[in-house]
Amino acid sequence: MSQFIPLSVPNFGAREAALAGEAITSGWVSTSGGKVTEFEQALADYVHMPRAVACNAGSSALHLAAMAAGITRGDEVIVPTLTFIAAVNPLTRYVGAEPIFIGCDDSLCIDPDAVEAFCAERCELRGGKLYNKATGAHVKALEVVHVFGNLGDMERLTEIAQKYHLILIEDATEALGTRFTAGKFAGKFAGTVGDIGCYSFNGNKIITTGAGGAVVSNHPDWAEHAKHLSTQAKTNLLQFFHDEVGYNYRMTNVQACLGIAQLERLEAFIAHKKALYDHYVEKLDGVKGLRILPFREDCTRPNHWFFSLYVKDFALDRDEIIEKLQAQGIQTRPVWALIHEQADYPRNEAYALDKALDYRKYIVNLPCSTNLSMEDCDRVIDAVLAL
Ligand SMILES: *Cc1c(COP(=O)(O)O)cnc(C)c1O
């Protein structure tokens, strides 16, 4: 049988091995050592921000963002339901807040019309704060997740956040490198438009440090606070005084070496993803009722992280397709089960779900690794066409 084609795997080379090897040989394998600072600066330079705070996971980055933004017990946060669970738990239950779930538009990102309607109809502004009329709680923040590397509608969402006094948090864990090319935010990167943004360097993301994450913020004191919280909130290095409850969310020096090497290759990875995506579009979009969902390429340069085959009008259903491709050694997957349906969340409010339910039912994510060869991409295409 021909080789297994995974969905999305790391792409490490000689440079990653050399840099990580140097860290190991030098003995600087833990959270001290200069490479974390070097990686933070390289990342900050890449996304045109003054600083970035590295940490040990995207989930930790989101938890740090929630704490830096001051989200706390009793607050409510408007979040998307079509996303990975780690976009929601850290901003809500980790800090004692509750989510309000909103569906998506055709970008797969949170639907600004539905957010606006929720704020206008179900909330009221009092003393500069937005209150949920049903629960009486302070609705403090709005989260946009740039799903699969596609930028959400930031022009609308920033306006809504301003009008309703909401902190705007960007989960850009899937969207490192995605940026605006036109409009009000031309040149700005995903994660750098709102109040605070988060990245992930988990193994399946566009660049990886094995596990890792980072926070950037347009409020320098929030970034500073995130760093402080990630390093046990220590105020005195020798005497071990701590001024609040902190966390050990630090990135290690070895991970930072991987990050430095991966960041050097990010633009090449994005170019390869685009070539793969364009190839899938050329061969599959519009064939036999199949579609490849678009990215917002009119005003953004997406990183094309994950590709979505949309199978509503195809002869086989989502799970049959996944199973048949798996039998041929090709790994695909459905989009995440919606968060408002997950274990502890069905009691929370959820609005404008139609599109999220539809995309949940009909999306199959296709192999998209940055080291997927064009030959293997053709093998996936042929297998789909032969279904
Ligand atoms: C990957 C991801 C995260 C979490 O990142 P980890 O590094 O795995 O903790 C959060 N949100 C979304 C949307 C993600 O895809």
For a mutational test of ligand 1's pocket, the pick from 59, 110, 305, i.e. the residue with the most ligand atoms closer than 8 A to its C-beta, is 59
- For residue 84 the two structure tokens come to 């990975």
- The rounded distance, in Å, linking the Cα atoms of 163 and 130 is 10
Which amino acid is it at 336? W
Whether residue 229 is found in the same domain as residue 289: no
Whether residue 208 is found in the same domain as residue 341: no
Whether residue 233 is found in the same domain as residue 362: no
C-alpha 96 to ligand 1 mean position (Å) = 20
4 falls within a domain: no
Q: Among the three residues 264, 288, 304, which one is the final residue of a domain in this structure?
A: 264
122 falls within a domain: yes
Whether residue 120 is found in the same domain as residue 217: yes
C-alpha 200 to ligand 1 mean position (Å) = 6
pLDDT of residue 1: 54
| Ligand 1 atom, smallest distance to 57 CA | 7
Whether residue 130 is found in the same domain as residue 208: yes
- Count of C-beta atoms within a 10 Å radius of residue 231: 17
Whether residue 164 is found in the same domain as residue 97: yes
Whether the pTM exceeds 0.75: the reply is yes
Domain containing 311 equals 266-385
**Protein residue with least CA distance to atom 11, ligand 1:** 87
Q: For position 342, which CATH number holds?
A: 3.90.1150.10
| Ligand 1 atom, smallest distance to 90 CA | 10
pLDDT of residue 304: 98
Whether residue 109 is found in the same domain as residue 25: yes
Q: Among the three residues 245, 264, 283, which one is the final residue of a domain in this structure?
A: 264
pLDDT of residue 33: 81
Whether residue 180 is found in the same domain as residue 201: yes
Contact (CB, 8 A) for 99 and 79: yes
Whether residue 371 is found in the same domain as residue 243: no
C-alpha 61 to ligand 1 mean position (Å) = 9
C-alpha 181 to ligand 1 mean position (Å) = 25
Whether residue 242 is found in the same domain as residue 360: no
| Ligand 1 atom, smallest distance to 62 CA | 10
Closest by CA to 250, choosing from 91, 44, 37, is: 37
154 falls within a domain: yes
Whether residue 141 is found in the same domain as residue 283: no
C-alpha 188 to ligand 1 mean position (Å) = 21
Domain count, the chain: 2
pLDDT of residue 244: 92
Ligand 1 binding pocket (C-beta < 6 A) is 57-59, 83-84, 86-87, 145, 171, 173-174, 200, 202, 213
149-182: string of b/e by CB count within 10 Å (b at 16+)?
Answer: bbbbbbeebbebbeebebbbbbbbbbbbbbbbee
- DSSP track, 26-44: HT--SS-STHHHHHHHHHH
Whether residue 158 is found in the same domain as residue 254: yes
| Ligand 1 atom, smallest distance to 59 CA | 9
367 falls within a domain: yes
| Ligand 1 atom, smallest distance to 145 CA | 13
C-alpha 70 to ligand 1 mean position (Å) = 21
- For residue 366 the two structure tokens come to 């296709």
C-alpha 197 to ligand 1 mean position (Å) = 12
For the segment 93-131, what is each residue's pLDDT rounded down to a tens digit?
999 999 999 999 999 999 999 999 999 999 999 999 999
Low-confidence ranges of the chain (pLDDT < 50): none
Q: Among the three residues 264, 290, 305, which one is the final residue of a domain in this structure?
A: 264
8 falls within a domain: no
pLDDT of residue 66: 98
